Amino acid sequence: MLGPVVAGLWGTFLPAFGHLPAAGITGPSLDPFRYLFDWAGLPRAMMLSITTGLIATGVSLLIVMLITAGWSGTRPFRLLERLLSPLLSVPHAAAAFGLAFLIAPSGWLSRLVSPGLTGWDRPPDLLIIQDSWGLTMTAGLIIKEVPFLLLITLAALGQADAQRSVAISQALGYGRLTGWLKTVFPRVYAQIRPPIYVVLAYSMSVVDVAVILGPNTPPSLSVQIVKWMSDPDLAMRLEGAAGALLQLLLVIGALVLWRLGEIAAGIIGRRWIMTGRRGRFDAVTAQIALGLGAACALAVLLGVVVLTIWSFAGYWGFPDALPDQLTWRNWMRHGPGTLEALGETALIASVVALAALILTIGCLEAEYRYGLHISQRGIWLLYLPLLIPQTAFLPGLQTLMLGLGADVGRGPVMLAHLVFVLPYVFLSLADPFRAWDTRMGTIAAALRSSPNGVLWRVRLPMLLRPVLTALAVGLAVSVGQYLPTLLIGGGRVATLTTEAVALASGGDRRAIGVYGLMQTGAALIPFALALLVPAMVWRNRKGLRHG
């Protein structure tokens, strides 16, 4: 999977130094960078990339760690766990639209309290969405990264022997939260480091959320890169490529900064442990963390609710809490368009997710049969496509394909999706696949079942639920892809996500509601099936009900 990434980076590197034979321009020259630095919006765009990335990652991590520290194993925590899969599967773009419809001056929250509490009978003149500091955009990222990091943390907790460590520290007089932070956190953090770096790189270079919630003048660096790359004037691609290279450097810089922060946190943490403080503010801190976590979950869920309402809304004047009437008209108008986009989305997602699943099972089964072990370095390799900002290598890949005369379209889009889908499918299936009791394999072989027989007749049926979950993860990731579809598809592949994001500038809330809801459904329904199908197939098999 490194091939496309490396090729893409090369395809970014050349035009950034003024070499683009397809446009009749040959280099090398530093002109693209000169133009880039002449752009008045650059310092602001760079700042936005850095602040949104660092703040979104830092705050999400803080919320997740404090919730886990204060609440793991309790009833509210289990409720949050239950909400995880649906929260995760809501695509970024839909969550961003939902948030916008909630907190905008004319959004649902303001409608609910107006004019009763606020006295507003028209939307207040506040710049909340697309604020120039990128705060709303950061919030939009946080509500989606919190469930992701929580999922990763849960997976890591299993291997950290957390419960006993916390029990011991509580017996020594430590508060639950402080005890967790001092004993479990270091182990958990070491495990979840790669996905945290992924979140940082992603938040710095995200495009769809930035288009919907981020500032316009200037936009964040990644949005501007995409603008340059989609300019009909091929020469603008040089500037875009230079920007992409700058974006890559920014991400690398931020990763280094984060690493330094880790070291500093380590030193401070060790001192804190030496002080022997037992944690006086544990209860309050845990309450606040839970409140923030619940707010994130609510923001996503209510966002989907408000998208639903808008998709059925007739006339809905300002401070009314609900529309005057509900109607099918929006669905009639946009239905045919969404169905077409849904077909394209479903086709791409199924092919890509299935391919990723087959590759993953092949890898894991080979690992089992030949006794191979994937090292820590191998894990980083798996994460690499997710660590390089999409804006850094996708434009390059597009330019390369243009240069080769390769046709843009569905096939290349699928390949590009696979680069991002495969790591998630692998990470989703690897743990349950490896946790399977290999003595089952020994028994089956002793009963004269061949290796393939063991795989098909014993292992995969027993792992039906994690296999289907991994497939659903793959589908959801593919459904949510914006940039690869837009750039590699050359604007000719219209999925629900590209169509929905394209509606952002128009501000037709009813159309956005319809497309956003369809997009959410396309990602959510596979997850529901991944829960339902095994429960039905194995309804008479108690031994698999919790597997």
Partner 1 sequence: MDKGLSLRDVTISKGGPPLLSVNHNIGPGEVLTVMGPSGVGKSTLLAFITGTLAPDFQAMGEVLLDGHDITHAAPHQRRVGILFQDDLLFPHLSVGANLAFGLQPGGTTEARRDKVNEALAEVGLTGFADRDPATLSGGQKARVALMRMLLSEPCGLLLDEPFSRLDATLRAQVRDMVFDRAKARSLPVLMVTHDADDARAAGGAIITLGD
Residues near partner 1 (CB under 8 A): 370-371, 437-451, 453-454, 457-458, 461-462, 464, 538, 540-544, 547
H helix intervals, 129-205: 135-157, 162-171, 176-183, 185-205
Non-local (6+) Cβ contacts of 214 within 8 A are 48, 52, 130, 134, 136, 137, 220, 223
CB nearer to partner 1: give 275 or 376: 376
CB nearer to partner 1: give 241 or 462: 462
CB nearer to partner 1: give 75 or 542: 542
Hey, is 109 helix, strand or coil?
Answer: helix
Q: Give the nearest distance from C-beta 43 to partner 1 in angstroms.
A: 55
* Cα R_g (the chain), whole angstroms: 24
Q: Give the nearest distance from C-beta 533 to partner 1 in angstroms.
A: 13
Decide if 46 contacts 221 (C-beta within 8 A).
yes
Among 278, 413, 287, 268, CA closest to 349:
413
Q: Give the nearest distance from C-beta 375 to partner 1 in angstroms.
A: 14
| Cα(537)–Cα(409) distance, integer angstroms | 38
| Cα(453)–Cα(445) distance, integer angstroms | 9
CB nearer to partner 1: give 186 or 461: 461
CB nearer to partner 1: give 248 or 463: 463
CB nearer to partner 1: give 389 or 441: 441
CB nearer to partner 1: give 366 or 447: 447
Q: Give the nearest distance from C-beta 362 to partner 1 in angstroms.
A: 19
In angstroms, the Cα distances linking 186 to 153, 162, 165, 179, 409 are 12, 11, 12, 12, 46
Hey, is 511 helix, strand or coil?
Answer: helix
Decide if 45 contacts 218 (C-beta within 8 A).
yes
Percent of residues in the chain assigned helix, strand, coil, to nearest 5? 75, 0, 25
CB nearer to partner 1: give 41 or 547: 547
Q: Give the nearest distance from C-beta 81 to partner 1 in angstroms.
A: 24
CB nearer to partner 1: give 2 or 366: 366
Count the helices and strands in the chain (H runs, E runs).
Answer: 25, 0
Hey, is 161 helix, strand or coil?
Answer: coil
| Cα(299)–Cα(419) distance, integer angstroms | 30
245 φψ region: left (φ > 0), alpha (ψ -120 to 50), beta (else): alpha
Q: Give the nearest distance from C-beta 371 to partner 1 in angstroms.
A: 4
Q: Give the nearest distance from C-beta 542 to partner 1 in angstroms.
A: 4
CB nearer to partner 1: give 294 or 464: 464
* Angle formed by the axes of helices 282-311 and 135-157, nearest 10°: 120
| Cα(384)–Cα(197) distance, integer angstroms | 10
CB nearer to partner 1: give 305 or 544: 544
Q: Give the nearest distance from C-beta 451 to partner 1 in angstroms.
A: 7
Q: Give the nearest distance from C-beta 430 to partner 1 in angstroms.
A: 19
Q: Give the nearest distance from C-beta 460 to partner 1 in angstroms.
A: 10
Q: Which two tokens stand for residue 24?
A: 């009749």
Among 73, 81, 55, 75, CA closest to 293:
81
Q: Give the nearest distance from C-beta 369 to partner 1 in angstroms.
A: 11
